[in-house]
Amino acid sequence: MLSVRVNADHIITLYAYRTDVHYAHTNMIARTLSESSLSSSMEDARGCDRYPGEVKSEMSPAEEPSQGAHYVKSAEKTLAVLLAFTAETPYRTVTEVAAATQLTRAAARRFLLTLVDLGYLSTEGSHFALTPRVLDIGAGFLAGLDLPKVAQPHLNDLAHDLDESATLSILDADDVVYIARAAAPRLHAVTVNLGNRLPAWATSMGRMLIAELPESFQEQFLARVEISPFTDHTVSSAHELGQELNRIRKQGWCLVSQELDDGLRGLAVPIRRGGNTLAALNVSLHTSHLRGLSVEDDLVPRLQRVAASIAEDFGGRAD
């Protein structure tokens, strides 16, 4: 039987983007799993749906995990397939999942496609990835470990110090979604509500998150994106956007100036933890405001420090 401890010390909630059929999203993995436990339990579980040439578990009956008459091995295999997706391996092929779970390739494929049909996995070409629906599995327990709740005090301080609105966003399909926000104290601040969506390609947050994706997924995004100008400053083509994404990826931050609205700039940095990008942190900057500060020398380091603090408070190692 798989040994999974679920307690406050071993829950990790990752608000990260992943590739959906159109892409990217929120991902959750809650796990503490012994490699030896996974190996032995999967070897045992394979006997359920064996194919010609497949090897049975070599464990003696005394070594077999204790299982009651109620035990359903297909449920164990389903969980093992889901747990094969990690922060280090968010995109996996049938062959990779089969190797990780010690299932046959045919069996792994059936489990993967079933999970796609149920909405827990998405597929892009030959690769599979978790979808936001996996959050439903641990939503009750994780209610108190919410990234927006952790980030809100930091956003409040940032908005107060800069007198500008501060926002936390994630990528969902080809849009960015606002999941936490602190409005600027001053009058005439930009009004945005939680849950609002904007086209990712046109925002600093969206571009930052897209730039963090593997190159193959960026190429797929650029192949389907439809760019329409919001202002005279808006990028004019997918090729130009691709060049901008390369620059953002190299420098680690993104500034979009008056491309979405005249007079408005957006500055964004990624929030990373354990090698995974959780979300993007953004401040909205009016061109007439903060004239005495340098974006690269003053504002970017400030946002990066706040992003690191959010990641650390959320738990784990900030990158």
Q: What angle do CA 204, 175, 19 make, to 5 degrees?
A: 105
Q: What is the pLDDT of residue 316?
A: 54
Strands 175-182 and 276-286: unpaired
DSSP class of 54: P
Average pLDDT over residues 242-252: 92
SS3 of 29, please? coil
User: Would you give the distance in Å from CA 98 to the centre of its chain?
Assistant: 23
Could you please state the CATH topology (level 3) that the domain comprising 146-314 is classified under: Beta-Lactamase (3.30.450)
Residues of the chain with CATH 3.30.450.40: 146-314
Of 126, 116, 125, 81, the C-alpha closest to 100 is 81
CB 108 within 8 A of CB 94: yes
Tell which residue, 265, 267, 263, 201, has the closest CA to residue 235: 201
Question: Is residue 241 over pLDDT 60?
Answer: yes
Residues comprising the chain, all counted: 319
Does 186 have pLDDT greater than 70?
Answer: no
Q: Is the pLDDT assigned to residue 105 strictly greater than 90?
A: yes
State the pLDDT at residue 136: 77
Separation of alpha carbons 135 and 156, rounded Å: 26
CATH number for region 35-140: 1.10.10.10
How confident is the model over 141-157, as a mean pLDDT?
Answer: 79
Average pLDDT over residues 273-277: 81
Determine the Cα–Cα distance for residues 23 and 50; give it in Å rounded to an integer. Answer: 34
Asked if pLDDT for residue 192 goes beyond 80, the answer is no
For the chain, give every residue range classified as CATH 1.10.10.10.
35-140
Distance of CA 208 to the CA centre of its chain: 13
Question: What is the rounded CA–CA span in Å between residue 255 and residue 122?
Answer: 31
Residue 210 is predicted with a pLDDT of 93
Is the predicted pLDDT of residue 231 greater than 60, yes or no? yes
Residue 252 tokens read as 């680690």
Dihedral angle sign, alpha carbons of residues 26, 31, 36, 38:
negative
| Predicted model pTM | 0.55
Higher-pLDDT residue of 241 and 31 is 241
